[in-house]
Structure 1
Amino acid sequence: MIKYLIEKEFKQLFRNSFLPKLIFIFPCMIMILMPWAANLEIKNINLNIVDNDHSIISRRLVDKIGASTYFRTTDVPGTYDEAMRAIEVGSADIILEIPRNFEKDWMQGNTPDLLVATNAVNGTKGGLGSSYLSAIINDYARELRQESPAPLRAGMPLPRVVVSTQNLYNPTLNYKLFMIPALMVMLLTMICGFLPALNVVGEKEAGTIEQINVTPVSKFTFIVAKLIPYWAVGFVVLTICLTLAWVLYGILPAGHFITIYGFAVVFLLVVSGLGLVISNHSATLQQAMFVMWFFMLILMLMSGLFTPIHSMPGWAQWIARLNPLKYFVEMMRTVYLRGGNFADLLPQLGALSAFALVFNLWAVKSYKKSS
């Protein structure tokens, strides 16, 4: 019996000429465009430099900042007030003011002060921009200390601690390596969550669900037949994503593909089961679509996909523990970046298994079969 129900679901899926195209085109578009757009690196920061010294040292500092890919020197105004007007009209993000006698103070062994004024309307851009600029200035100061004559260096404070930075797991700081695995999770959630959410309620509106209700098909068999096609669609989407990540960006997991597919078996049951629960409780397609979208926004924003969960307030971190996407995102990033295996990810596997059991039992229980 279940064989014919599954066959019906596949025929119903492919009878719609748009859905098979969506299943293929949507992952391709997201994997091509989103890794470039969903990037939290801050670049092309508009910088105004007020150079009141006009010395060789100040000129070198301006050139060093201009050589950075993070800043774009839009103007060199004569006064600080002119630079502030540029921030007010939005043509500048940061002001660097070099004081008079900057070179003279340095050569005398004093510590000259530089002013960095940041437009903090966008807190992330302002904070990171000022940090980038401070790092460039500190690096320039070290260069000047090394170039200074020995007698002059003797009277200048030298750092006592040398910090050596080693970037583990992602030594090139490639942000795509962090973002692409999470985008795969987002795609699986949207496709394998929305399609089941619209399935049962679509049959309710079309009236075909009544033909199933008068058959001896059990509720469990009916739900399993609904799950399996979207479970297979999820594997197709995941394979497309893994292939595009390798072909377009040269990104391959440090771990094994078996771990990814093994977790996908459980995760696809989670999101498909959630979609069927929403579909069972919805009366119209519009209701199912809006309810699913409501949950999608919360699940994705609270999953650590774009922002770290540890940066959230304590109460938000507790809520995130009830989010199945959190555990699958952790798995994908662990396998891709650190080469984790099943033994390293048993807590995530246990959480996803619990979610899959709850949602699918709920889907079976909430399906109202009447004869």
Structure 2
Amino acid sequence: MRMLKFLLWKELIQIYRDPSIIMILFIMPMIQLLILPLAADYEIKNINLGVVDHDHTEYSRKLVNKVVSSGYFRLKDYSPTFQQGLKAIESDKTDLILEIPPHFERDLVKENQASLFVAVDAVNGVKAGLGGAYIQRIIQGDNQDIRTQWMPEQRLNPQPVIEVTTADWYNPNMNYRVFMVPGILVMLVTMIGSSFASNNIVREKEMGTIEQINVSPIKKMQFILGKLIPFWMLALVVLTVGLLIARFVYGIVPLGHYITIYIFATIYLLAILGLGLLLSTYAQTQQQSMLVSFFVTMIFNLLSGLYTPIESMPAWAQMITRFNPVSYFIEVMRMVMLKGSGLADIKYQILALVGFAVFFNSWAILNYRKRSG
């Protein structure tokens, strides 16, 4: 126990003497947490719209005004022919073309039906899909308004009508920041924990002090714990700073208890830091360690459900997410922050993280003597 105390003191002094570590640990995550949620927005706005109006009637003008006034589209091009409108898409001036055919108003009034053509630039698939869905919904709404205006009032409607009422639970205002900030905070804590832990033992190898540690009476478990605990403590401090930013900058107050978040984060960091130390026992240089750590954390973050729902992934990717600690923490953070879940609600995630922590740290302890001793 005394040897562990001295080793912890040595690590903390070494961190304190390196100002770059403090800056990377605290300043960079704060800046990233302030910037990333502003950029990571699921709602697409400012879609550049091109219009080709062959009708030039009151109904066509009302339709264009309704599309533009929705707030999702900006009228950037008004071409007389479709070919000219297509050139605007090819030059990246517009993202979408709404073509109104000749006799649009006449067909709508006399035949009670009319057709429209929408061409979407699908280079950006997400923007194309949402832009097409937005304009289709606006056109359907305009169509419903016209039907309501033209249909005579009837005491009894011969056509059955189904009315659907929706309610958005846990995020009633559909604020994407409430959904994204907890996940981004998990990503930042993961990157910091794994990268610093993966460089820890390698730094001892490059400095030549690993041989002195190997011949000392320090046990393997004490050595791994001495490398793990300081960054475990600092990662919890980073998590605290992130939660303060979420509360006072974005106004995100968890419906659950902060204690639930910290209990799960404690176990999670043991698993992530154990993985970083495991990678460090295999690497011979800090460059190797950083590259491998970046590769692993990138896969973890992309398959975590932060940007893409896990349910929409292929079956093989969903299987991989079961072995991804980051996906469990993001799920728990959103459950506690948005749903107010407690420890009883996340017991399966806790058991999974305990398994990851035991597995990675045990492997690191066993592999340390094998590779270095």
TM-score, normalising length from structure 1? 0.95
Question: How far 1:103 moved relative to its partner?
Answer: 2.0
Q: Deviations over 1:240-281 (max 9, x none)?
A: 100001111111112111110010010000111011001111
Q: Deviations over 1:36-71 (max 9, x none)?
A: 112232111111111222222221111111112211
Structure 1 distance, partners of 2:78, 2:163, is 34
Confirm whether residue 367 of structure 1 aligns to residue 368 of structure 2.
yes
Question: How far 1:159 moved relative to its partner?
Answer: 7.8
Residue type of the alignment partner of 2:282: H
57, 61, 64: which is aligned to 2:63? 61
Change (3 A) 1:25 1:233: same
Structure 2 distance, partners of 1:3, 1:149, is 83
Q: Deviations over 1:47-101 (max 9, x none)?
A: 1111222222221111111112211110111111211111122211111111222
Q: What does residue range 61-210 of structure 1 map to in structure 2 within 5 Å?
A: 61-108=63-110, 110-148=112-150, 150=152, 160-210=161-211
Unaligned segments of structure 1, at least 5 residues: none
Q: What does residue range 332-351 of structure 1 map to in structure 2 within 5 Å?
A: 332-351=333-352
Structure 1 distance, partners of 2:289, 2:159, is 65
Question: How far 1:149 moved relative to its partner?
Answer: 5.5
Residue type of the alignment partner of 2:48: N
Structure 2 distance, partners of 1:185, 1:201, is 25
Question: How far 1:202 moved relative to its partner?
Answer: 0.4
Which secondary structure state, in structure 2, belongs to the residue aligned with residue 368 of structure 1? helix
Unaligned segments of structure 2, at least 5 residues: none
Structure 1 distance, partners of 2:240, 2:158, is 57
Confirm whether residue 2 of structure 1 aligns to residue 4 of structure 2.
yes
Structure 2 distance, partners of 1:306, 1:158, is 42
Which secondary structure state, in structure 2, belongs to the residue aligned with residue 150 of structure 1? coil
Residue type of the alignment partner of 1:252: V
Question: How far 1:107 moved relative to its partner?
Answer: 2.4
Q: Deviations over 1:123-179 (max 9, x none)?
A: 11111110000111111122222222628x99x997832222221111111111111
Which secondary structure state, in structure 2, belongs to the residue aligned with residue 103 of structure 1? helix
Equivalent position of 2:54 in the other structure = 52
Which range moved further: 218-227 or 86-95? 86-95
Equivalent position of 2:292 in the other structure = 291
TM-score, normalising length from structure 2? 0.95
Taking only aligned residues, the RMSD between alpha carbons, in angstroms, comes to 1.9
Q: Percent identity?
A: 47
Question: How far 1:109 moved relative to its partner?
Answer: 5.1
Equivalent position of 1:320 in the other structure = 321
Structure 2 distance, partners of 1:86, 1:134, is 21
Change (3 A) 1:281 1:302: same
Question: How far 1:340 moved relative to its partner?
Answer: 1.1
Equivalent position of 1:267 in the other structure = 268
Structure 1 distance, partners of 2:132, 2:26, is 42
